[in-house]
Every structure is written in structure tokens, then in C-alpha cells.
């Protein structure tokens, strides 16, 4: 007992003699990256949960001060690497707002197509890894099977599967291909001959028809599964006031019942991308479909918002294809690498799959900005961990943290 009173490290954490400090260390399969959760527990009940971050800090903001915007796009890829297309889009739009550039119509529809397909891919990872955190392996494999097809599409478009650097200042680096070889996964799932050459949009339409049917299967696997409901409903409850005060955005905010989505409520340069598209914004509570144990703002609501967003994203992709085909112009407005940025500053937030990703760029007359600030949606979403993890058993911590859907690359930058 004398050791615990005199040891300053223990005193600092105010650990009572019957409490334990459990470290859910940076290397952990369930913490979605290098996140360290320091838990002060009384047996199995968690009294305090302190996240420690910074294990993936790569000084992206400092690097931005030395690079011109097109050179910085690959760094935005590596922030939220599971939704890299949306990161690229956010930064590209911010620079376009700064220099007052308007992209051609074709590029606008191309960007909607890419961003929403990226949203589907990102939410599939969220669904799969959330199931994995709770102990079920099959949804993970199904999710990655569908995601594999999307990644093969992206590979045909820009050559990369994870860090695309595709959407850039002025539009996109390459135009969409005319004809591609059908992805192997899609061929075997839909019974087409492997190696068949198909027009690109027909291939995407085939994939969308496939995944639409499968969404209802995933609902039976996870959403309506009694064990899943027991482990997620009524847990990790986040009130709307707390969500707004703590800067939570995206599915975390909409899962708490706050109807706010930047594709509808954001700045003009971003909302005009989605003008002419019809889509809904899923917001909790889901009165008619939610099981009776579900409470507004719990894990289940956040998860269900993501599932519904996949359905809406598929709708948007479907609408964007004919608009792209009918649009005139080029896929890219030229932007010279050494273009001097104006002596002005802008801040722009876009609706990334995990929340509102903001970029703040201060230009000072050079090609490289004076300051690049990346405001991460997951950084704000993670800040509520302590508040919603109090009083729960240790085994529920991965369930709660997993429902926030965090990516450490974005938090630490």
C-alpha cells in the first residue's frame, strides 16, 4: 500500500487501492489503429477511459507549408486512408475555393460518382470491422468481398487501390475509362465469364445491382441479429447536446438525432456538386425499424445510419452516371504547379464518410501555403470516448469505440 501512495505516477491518475489501470495499448486488434486507451477499472467496470493519440502523427500540417497544392494531395490520401477519395476531394475543393476556380460540369459529376462510391467502400469497412470487434467474422469477409470490387474499379480508374491521389485541384487526374475488364470478384459472383471486357458504367451498374440485393442479407447478419442488438443497443448513448458540443459529425451526430449533413447544409461550393441529385439523409431515431431495446444515440443507431447511407450512396452513384455521360467539358481544369496562391485564407468542410473533414488553407502569395490545417472528423468523434464509456463493462469498450468508426491516420495526421 505504501508503494501506491508514494509512486507519483499512480497518484497522478488518482487510482484508488481497489482500482486497476488497464492499458488497451496502441497495439490492439480492436482499437482501429494505433490508439491507446487507458482504462481505470474497478474489476470489470470502467470508471474512466482516457484516449492517448499521436502514435501515427506524421506532421502532415507542417509538410503542407512546403508543397504546392497538387503535391499535397497524396498527403491527404494518407489521412483517412479508408476514404482517401473523399479526403482528396475536400482538399481540392478548399484550394478551388481559395483561388476561385470552377471545375467543368463533367468533373463535378465525376466527383460525385467517385465520392459516393468511396463512401460505400468506407462504410463497408466500418460494418465489417465492427462485426469483427464484436467477434463475428463473416460480415467482415462479405464486406471486403464487395469492397474488393470497388477497389478494382478504382484501380482501373487511377491505378491505385488505397491511396489514390485521384481527385485533384481542377477535377480529376484522369478521365473515367471507356471499357474495362470485369473484376474477377464481380465475374464469379454474377456468373459472367472472367476476363470479359465491358463498358465501365455497365460494369458499375452490375455491381450496384449485386450489392443492393446483398444489403438486406447484411441486415440479417448484423442489424437484426439478437446477439448484435444485445451488444450494441442501449449502449454508448450520446445525447444530441453532447454530440454537438463535442464537435461530433457525420454518422455519430446523425445517430444522435441531429439532422445535419453538409451535402445539403454545407457551403455553396460543396452543395452545388449535389444539386440536381435526389437523396435522403438517414437520421436516428428509426422509429419503425429499430428494435425496442434501441435508445437514441446508442451504438446501434450509429451503425444503422451507416447502413442506410450505403443505400443512399448507391442511389447517388446511379444518378451520377447518366449525368456524367451527358455532361460536356473536360474532366480537369488545368492548374499549374507553381500557381501563386492569393494572400487570403479559406476554410471548407466536406462530408466525408466518417464526419465533417475540414481544411483551412492560408495563402501568402507563394505556390506553397503559409498554413495548412486539416481538421479531422474522427479527432472530434474520439473526444467523447471518456464520456460515453463510463460505467460499462470492459468488454463493451471495443463495441463503443468501434461504433465511432475512427481511423487513426486522420486523427493523428
Partner 1 sequence: MEIQAIHSILLERFGSEAVGDGPRAAIDPWIQVSPDSIVAVGRFLRDEPRLKFDHLNDLCGVDYFEPDAKKAPKFGHEPHVEVVYQLSSVSLKHRLKLKVSIPRWKDNVAGQLPSVPSVSSVWGIADWHEREAYDLMGIHFEGHPNLRRILCPEDWTGHALRKDYEFPLEYHGIRGR
Q: Which residues bind partner 1 (CB under 8 A)?
A: 53-54, 57, 59, 61-62, 97-98, 100, 242, 244-247, 253, 258, 260, 265, 267, 343-347, 349, 356, 358, 360, 362, 364-365, 370-371, 373, 375, 379-380, 383-384, 412
Handedness of CA 131, 146, 123, 71 (dihedral sign): positive
Contact between 73 and 86 under an 8 Å Cβ cutoff? The reply is: no
**Distant-in-sequence, close-in-space partners of 366: CB < 8 Å, separation ≥ 6:** 340, 341
Query: Which cell is 235 given?
Result: 449502449
Measured from the CB atom, the residue of 185 and 250 that comes closer to partner 1 is: 250
| Angstrom distance (rounded) from CA 284 to CA 159 | 38
**To which residue does cell 466536406 refer?**
350
Nearest to 52 by CA among 396, 382, 398, 406: 382
Contact between 187 and 197 under an 8 Å Cβ cutoff? The reply is: no
Burial degree of 49 (CB within 10 A; 0-12, 13-18, 19+): buried
Between the two ends of the chain, the Cα-to-Cα distance in Å is: 42
Burial degree of 12 (CB within 10 A; 0-12, 13-18, 19+): exposed
**To which residue does cell 506524421 refer?**
58
Strand 345-352 to 197-199 pairing: unpaired
Amino acid at each position: 500500500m505504501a508503494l501506491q501512495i508514494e509512486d507519483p505516477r499512480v497518484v497522478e491518475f488518482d487510482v484508488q487501492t481497489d482500482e486497476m489501470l488497464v492499458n488497451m495499448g496502441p497495439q490492439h486488434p480492436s482499437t482501429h489503429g494505433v490508439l491507446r486507451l487507458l482504462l481505470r477499472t474497478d474489476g470489470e467496470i470502467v470508471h474512466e477511459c482516457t484516449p492517448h493519440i499521436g502514435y501515427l502523427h506524421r506532421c502532415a500540417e507542417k509538410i503542407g507549408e512546403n508543397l504546392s497544392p497538387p503535391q499535397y494531395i497524396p498527403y491527404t490520401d494518407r489521412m483517412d486512408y479508408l476514404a482517401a477519395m473523399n479526403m482528396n476531394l475536400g482538399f481540392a475543393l478548399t484550394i478551388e475555393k481559395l483561388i476561385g476556380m470552377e471545375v467543368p460540369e463533367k468533373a463535378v459529376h465525376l466527383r460525385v460518382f467517385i465520392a459516393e462510391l468511396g463512401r460505400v467502400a468506407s462504410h463497408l469497412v466500418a460494418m465489417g470491422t465492427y462485426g469483427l470487434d464484436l467477434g463475428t467474422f463473416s460480415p467482415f469477409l462479405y464486406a471486403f468481398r464487395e469492397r474488393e470490387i470497388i477497389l478494382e474499379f478504382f484501380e482501373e480508374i487511377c491505378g491505385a487501390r488505397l491511396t489514390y491521389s485521384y481527385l485533384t485541384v481542377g477535377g480529376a487526374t484522369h478521365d473515367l475509362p471507356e471499357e474495362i475488364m470485369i473484376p474477377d470478384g464481380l465475374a464469379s459472383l454474377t456468373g459472367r465469364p472472367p476476363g470479359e471486357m465491358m463498358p465501365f458504367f455497365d460494369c458499375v451498374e452490375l455491381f450496384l445491382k449485386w450489392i443492393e440485393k446483398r444489403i438486406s442479407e447484411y441486415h440479417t447478419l448484423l442489424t437484426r441479429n439478437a446477439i448484435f442488438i444485445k451488444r450494441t443497443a442501449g449502449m454508448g448513448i450520446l445525447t444530441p447536446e453532447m454530440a454537438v458540443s463535442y464537435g461530433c459529425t457525420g454518422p455519430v451526430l446523425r445517430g444522435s438525432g441531429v439532422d445535419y449533413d453538409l451535402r445539403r447544409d454545407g457551403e455553396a461550393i460543396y452543395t452545388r456538386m449535389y444539386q440536381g441529385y435526389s437523396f435522403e439523409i438517414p437520421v436516428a431515431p428509426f422509429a419503425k425499424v429499430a428494435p425496442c431495446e434501441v435508445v437514441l444515440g446508442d451504438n446501434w443507431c450509429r451503425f444503422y445510419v451507416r447502413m442506410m447511407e450505403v443505400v443512399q450512396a448507391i442511389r447517388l452513384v446511379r444518378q451520377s452516371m447518366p449525368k456524367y455521360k451527358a455532361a460536356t467539358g473536360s474532366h480537369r481544369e488545368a492548374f499549374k504547379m507553381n500557381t501563386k496562391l492569393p494572400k487570403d485564407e479559406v476554410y471548407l468542410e466536406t462530408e466525408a464518410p466518417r464526419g465533417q473533414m475540414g481544411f483551412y488553407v492560408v495563402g501568402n502569395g507563394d505556390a506553397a501555403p503559409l498554413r495548412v490545417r486539416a481538421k479531422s472528423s474522427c479527432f472530434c468523434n474520439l473526444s467523447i470516448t471518456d464520456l460515453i464509456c463510463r460505467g460499462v463493462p470492459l468488454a463493451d469498450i471495443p463495441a463503443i469505440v468501434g461504433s465511432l468508426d475512427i481511423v487513426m491516420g486522420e486523427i493523428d495526421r
